[in-house]
Amino acid sequence: MSGERVSPLLRTEQRTEGSAVVVTVAGEVDMNSAPELQSALDRALQGEPTAVVLDMTEVGFLGSAGLSVLLATSQSTATGGLRVVASPAVRRPIEVTALDALLPLFPTVADALAAPEQTTSA
């Protein structure tokens, strides 16, 4: 089952790929649209997928509120974790804040789906 949500700054769409969920996001993620991103990720996690792939290749801006959503979601996911497919506008703030150590970045959705499950250390 897929779902789509549209707000003035952000569009989200969800689909299932095997046992993973892919959430596609387009637009800008700032303090006004971050709650919609959080809602989309919360919906994706409801079925306890093996992984959540967040396709942000169509995101032109990622602000600190969006980074907070990504970090919080990454910390609350199961072993498959949150896998981010990043545009340059998304990759830059993640790398500058060193969150790429916690948020695996991938060039394509196919690469993110093919990645092995991550193990977390306690």
Domain ranges for the chain, please list them. 11-111
**According to CATH, what is the number of the domain 11-111?**
3.30.750.24
Prediction pTM value? 0.87
Q: Looking at residue 7, what is its pLDDT?
A: 59
pLDDT by residue for the chain (122 residues), tens only, comes to 455 555 578 999 999 999 999 999 999 999 999 999 999 999 999 988 989 999 999 999 999 999 999 999 988 776 568 999 999 999 999 999 999 998 999 999 999 999 987 644 43
Three-class secondary structure assignment of the chain: CCEEEECCCEEEEEEEECCEEEEEEEEEECCCCHHHHHHHHHHHHCCCCCEEEEEEEEEEEECHHHHHHHHHHHHHCCCCCEEEEECHHHHHHHHHCCHHHCCCEECCHHHHHHCCCCCCCC
